Each structure stands twice: as C-alpha cells, then as structure tokens.
Amino acid sequence: MLANKSSIAFKYIYSRIIVTKKISTNIKIFEHLGHLREHFRKEEENGGAVPIFKKVLLHADHIAIKSNTTEYSYQQLYLGSKKLSIQISNICGSGASCNVAVFCENNALLPLTQWGCWMSGQVFMPLLHKFPFETLSFIIGDSKSKIIISGQLYEKIAKKLAAMFDIPLIIIDHHFIPEHSINHHFLEKTLLTVGSNVFIEGTLNNDFYSCSVAMLVYNNSAAKKPKGCRITHKNLLSRIKGTSKAWDYKSSDVLLNLLPVEYNNYSVHSMMCLLSVGGKIDLCYNINYDKIWNKILGINMLIK
C-alpha cells in the first residue's frame, strides 16, 4: 500500500514539477530562437552581414562534425571557438582585422579556428604544410601576420616560422572543444534581447562584418611568391547563401566530405554552406573506397 502511495506521489511530482519545468524551458528556447532568427532576417534585409558562427546558434544542439571516432555539436564548436577567440583578442585586440596564419588540419578544429578568428574580428589566412618553407616564410612576411595558429601535426614548422618572425604561436588540439553536455540555458546565457535587437555575448556587432575582410587566401601554386586574395565577409556570405539555395541545403542534410584540407580550408561548397544551415559534415580522413561505399549504403558500420 505504501509502495503504491509512493508511486502516486512520484508520478505527481514528476508530472507537476519536472515535466512542467521541462516544457517551460523548451518554450524559452523556442522564444530565444524566434527572436534570434527574426533579428538575423532584419539584419540581412538591411544589408548587414551575419557570420556563420552566429547562425550556428540556431542549431546549437545539432551534430556539426562527425568523424570515424567522435562527433561534435554546434554548441561544442561554438564554445571552443569562443575560447580561442579570447586568446587571439588578447594578442591582436578585438576587431583589429589582423591576419592570422593557420596551419589547418582536416578535422573539427578547422571550422573552430575559422570561427575563432572571425569572432575575434581578425582575418583567417590558411597555410598549407605542403608549401616549401621559403614560400611559407614569404607568405608570413608578405601578409604581415600577427599570429600563427597550428595543430600538433604541424607544430614543428609553425614554431620555426613563429621564431623566425618573432610572432606569437598558439597550438590547438581537441581539448579546446568542451565535453558534450545538454545545456538548456546555453542560449539564455549567450543572448541578450533588448526590444527587437538581439546581442550575442562576447561577439562584435554585425556592422563590423559588413565592411571587413574574412579571409586572405594565397594561391595554391608552385610559385615562390604566390599572390594573396582578400575575401570580405559580405562576399563570402553571398556565395554561401547562393550555393545553399541552389543546392537546397537543409539542417537535416548530411555531407560526406572526401576533400583534402587544401580545399576545405577556404572552399564554400565543402563545409561552410552546410554548417551555415545546421547540417552535419561526415569527415573521411583516409580515402578507402570500400569504407566509403559502406558508409553511403549504411552497411558494415559500427552502431553506437
């Protein structure tokens, strides 16, 4: 009899308190998302530029990057990029539009580093480890890079260049990405709504991105002195929007990415478009065609 009363009491508490609290939390999340979506729409209508790292807040709980061993949500990548942006701003200053030279790896640290540079208000400049050292040193000098960021894979050459030009070096690894956790108050802590305006904590206003450079890309050639090309945020976002519309990308889409890092580090089509709408990138590091076909067909795959 006591057990039955305890069960009834538990059901009452669960239905009246826990479930009600959960519904209340979900309503708040939907309200925040609605305000944010409307704010972005108005900003773009008025000619503003809304960078990718802000748009991903609309899909914070979705999986962004999946690899053979792990997967990361948009919230994890956002928090990791925010951590990196603070370090960059401490060196360059927030919104300084300094060139940040980055040795990219074909993993989740690539978008994290891009977003970190943009969140800090700097220019993302990808470097290819395949370039001769003479070419790399020319690029660093020609661009007047203020900082070098590298993963552990290219730490040796990054240290050599940083010492040569006497500039700071940040070595990043997957510890920059926080552990996955369901944080129902993430948006509430990140956003500040004042009337119809939404401010994102720790980021620059969209006005900054309307007239600033997003990337500096040096052409992938054998030349010892390659030419650099500046790409503005407006130009980049226009290409992303046009491509996403043409391909009809949705947040439910999954892209199997087989491209090498020299394309992924600046290509709109390979990563940026799908990440901008909340889709999932499935990265394949080694080109094994049997495994690729198994992945596409969904056979012989490990189930978590």
Range of the domain at 65: 2-297
Measured CA to CA in angstroms, residue 283 lies from 79, 172, 255, 292, 298 at distances of: 21, 19, 8, 11, 15
The whole-model pTM stands at: 0.85
Secondary structure E strands in 164-273 = 169-172, 191-194, 197-200, 213-218, 228-232, 254-257
CATH number at residue 93: 3.40.50.12780
Question: Is position 171 within any domain?
Answer: yes
Question: Is position 214 within any domain?
Answer: yes
Question: Is position 302 within any domain?
Answer: no
Question: Is position 303 within any domain?
Answer: no
3-state secondary structure of 177: coil
pLDDT in single tens digits along all 304 residues of the chain = 555 666 565 555 555 554 444 455 567 778 888 888 998 999 888 888 999 999 999 999 999 999 878 899 999 999 999 999 999 999 999 999 999 999 988 889 999 999 999 999 999 999 988 899 999 999 999 999 999 999 999 999 999 999 999 999 999 998 889 988 777 678 888 888 887 778 898 899 989 999 999 999 998 766 678 999 999 999 999 999 999 999 999 999 999 888 877 776 667 777 899 999 999 999 876 666 677 777 677 766 555 4
What is the C-alpha R_g of the chain? 22
What are the φ and ψ backbone dihedral angles of 188, each rounded to 5 degrees? -60, -35
3-state secondary structure of 269: helix
Question: Is position 304 within any domain?
Answer: no
Query: pLDDT digits over 231-280, tens only?
Result: 999 999 999 999 999 999 999 999 988 887 777 666 777 789 999 999 99
Total number of domains in the chain: 1
Question: Is position 10 within any domain?
Answer: yes
CA end-to-end distance (rounded Å), the chain: 41
Q: For the chain, how many residues are written?
A: 304
Query: pLDDT digits over 283-296, tens only?
Result: 876 666 677 777 67
